[in-house]
Structures are given as structure tokens and as C-alpha cells.
Amino acid sequence: MSQVAQVAAVAASRGAPISLAGVGKVYPMRRGRSVEAVRDVGLDIAPGEFLALLGPSGCGKSTLLRMMASLEEPTSGTVTVDGAPPRELAARHRLGVAFQDNALLPWSSVYHNLALPFRVAHRPVDRARIAELIELVGLKGFEDARPRQLSGGMRQRVSIARSIMLEPDLLLLDEPFGALDAVTRRRLNAELQRIWMADPVTTVLVTHDVEEALLLADRVVVLSPRPGRISKIVTVPFDRPRALDVTRSARFHAMVDELTAELDALTGGVDSDE
């Protein structure tokens, strides 16, 4: 069996399906005003699928992700994960989240930051699992380092390792590399793909970066400016594993141009405000 076929076989048996039906979110403001973040979003995500949410700032990408994470409730419509509200998955510690702000405990070592999910879930710390993920994310030898002793890219690798520590059924990534320089970001895109291929769990990535979305995802969902609605869904045709060489292909550049043109058309060529 080829590596691509192996990934497909594993993906079919891992991860939770997600369903969004008529999802809307309105935030009340002062003096009776409100802001409509997203409107009438319908989307089904298959078990083991890697999906990217792409769109201008303020289009509701992070709002949708937060609803999948049970950190927000929809004003209208429903969000279900494996047929149940996301809070049920979160209560079972089967949901992993990594944000742009790595949210590491600054006083704790890499090892103890990675042990945190076990303690939060009131489970015995699995030293072998921690060692396995430290190896997987390329941080062997840094077990005792504090976050301030690590580069930004290394801190994000710790954050991603922590998010998958308990082998979640759903992994949610909100601009995990957004604060990094372009060279580091491209390198960590390759790292994330390698980590995901080792255990292809259902994953949703929020990003502004068209190339990042095409390099990592199975499908790319483009959202309109606020209120966010689905404007376009693109299936990514490139086989895995995707080497960075794919980004230099004519087909990749054509898809970048297609998605960039869609974003330009939605925003009038100017990214909207948060």
C-alpha cells in the first residue's frame, strides 16, 4: 500500500465528523446595536479531513472555529461534532486546540507544558506519549527548556504537540503560524503536514494565507466579508505527502491565483477590518 493510500485508510477510521447547519452568530453591542459575524453557514466535514477556512479579517473564520470548540454558541442553526454538541467532545477531552498565541505556561518546562493535558483530564501522565511527541515535533533535548528559551517556531511546535497529546478526535488550529516570519512559517507548514500524516485526525485550520491553505488542506472554504458566508469551496488535488516543491508547480500557482482573485473580488482588493 502506498503512503497516500495508507493515509487515506487511517483517515477513514480517525476523527469526528462535523456538521454546521444554518449557523449564524450575532454579538450584542452597546446601545442596542449588534454585529452579525456569520450568517447561514452550512458545511459538512468528513472524519479525517483537513479543512482550511480562508477569508479576509473579520469574516467570521475564528468565530466558526470557536463554535466548533464549544467556546461560543451559535445564535441560530446548529453545530455538531460526531452528532453531538461540541461541548460533549470537549468534556471528554477529545478536542485539541492551538491558537496563534501559543498559551504556554511561561514558568513551566516543555515537558510540564506537555504534561498539562493529562493533569487537566485527571489522567496519569503518560511519559512515553510525551517523549513520542517531543520526538515527533523535533524538540528532543529541549524537555527542560522554558518557553522564553525557545524560538517562536519552537513554541508553536510545543503548542501543537500539546493540542494532540490526548489523541483528539478533532483538532482546531487558529492561525497557529500567523505571527511567524515567512521562512519559519513555510518550514512549520511542512512540519504540521508531517505531524498530521502520522495521525490524520479531523482538522480545521483558520488562515489568511492562500498558499498555506493549499499546501495543507484537503478542501479550502472561502468566506465572504462580514457577515461571513461560504463563497467558494475548492478541493485540493495534490497528493500527499506534499513537498514544498509542489508550491512551484504551474497548477499550484493557478489555484493560488484563483483563490486570490476570489478574495480580491469579495473585498474589492482591500482586506476588511477586524
Residue 7 has pLDDT above 70, yes or no: no
Neighbours of 274 (CB within 10 A): 9
Say what the pLDDT of residue 235 is: 96
Residue 6 has pLDDT above 90, yes or no: no
Residues 113-123: tens digit of each pLDDT: 999 999 999 99
Say what the pLDDT of residue 14 is: 67
pTM for the model stands at 0.88
Was domain 3-94+168-267 assigned CATH 3.40.50.300?
yes
Cβ-contact 136, 152 below 8 angstroms: no
| CA-to-CA dists, residue 4 to 10, 153, 234, angstroms | 10, 27, 20
Q: Residue type for 228, please?
A: G
Say what the pLDDT of residue 181 is: 82
What is the pLDDT averaged over residues 42-64?
93
H/E stretch holding 119 reads: helix 110-120
Q: Which residues pair with 79 in a beta bridge?
A: 20
Residue 10 has pLDDT above 80, yes or no: no
Say what the pLDDT of residue 222 is: 96
Q: Mean pLDDT in the chain?
A: 88
